Amino acid sequence: MAFKKPVSSLVLIYTEDFKVLLMERADKKGFWQSVTGSLEENETPRDAAIREVFEETGIDSTQYHLEDWALSHVYEIYAHWRYRYAPDITHNTEHIFALKVPTSIHIQLSADEHVQYLWVNWRDAMDKVFSWTNVEAIKKLAEIHQLKL
């Protein structure tokens, strides 16, 4: 197995009325998140965002406006997922994107990655996601659209 690159993209998918798509991880019950995924060889963060959105949700993000927020976070990789990375890797850099879709559209989950999905009000989504970087992405959504936190 090849090790994952410690660089990833997170895509916050949201609707015009600011519902956020959350998916429950298949490998960690109760862990809700936005679309995320590591960059593959010779892939840009934007390329990874487009690929991961399609793989995890079935959405063709080229049909909508994929926003690069020019924002990234460095976080410590959870111990239970470190085996996926080279032995000396402890941190990941995550690039943040957003994808606005018109309404709560149907999602085709990748069964090996997620078991269910929900469209959740953006405020409630902040309480449901497990990752602080995901919370920060939702806060950025609120900031950009001048929503009251």
Q: Contacts by 25-29 with C-beta closer than 8 Å and gap 24+?
A: 25/113, 25/114, 25/115, 26/111, 26/112, 26/113, 26/114, 26/115, 28/80, 28/130, 29/115
128 is in an annotated binding site: no
15 is in an annotated binding site: no
131 is in an annotated binding site: yes
16 is in an annotated binding site: no
| Per-residue exposure over 65-92, b if at least 16 CB sit within 10 Å of its own CB, e if not | ebbeeeeebeeebeeeeeeebeeeeeeb
44 is in an annotated binding site: no
133 is in an annotated binding site: no
Using an 8 Å Cβ cutoff, are 18 and 107 in contact? Answer: no
DSSP per-residue string spanning 74-92: EEEPPGGGGGGS-TT--EE
Residue ranges of the binding site for substrate: 4, 25, 36, 131
Residue ranges of the binding site: 4, 25, 36, 52, 56, 113, 131
Residue ranges of the binding site for Mg(2+): 52, 56, 113
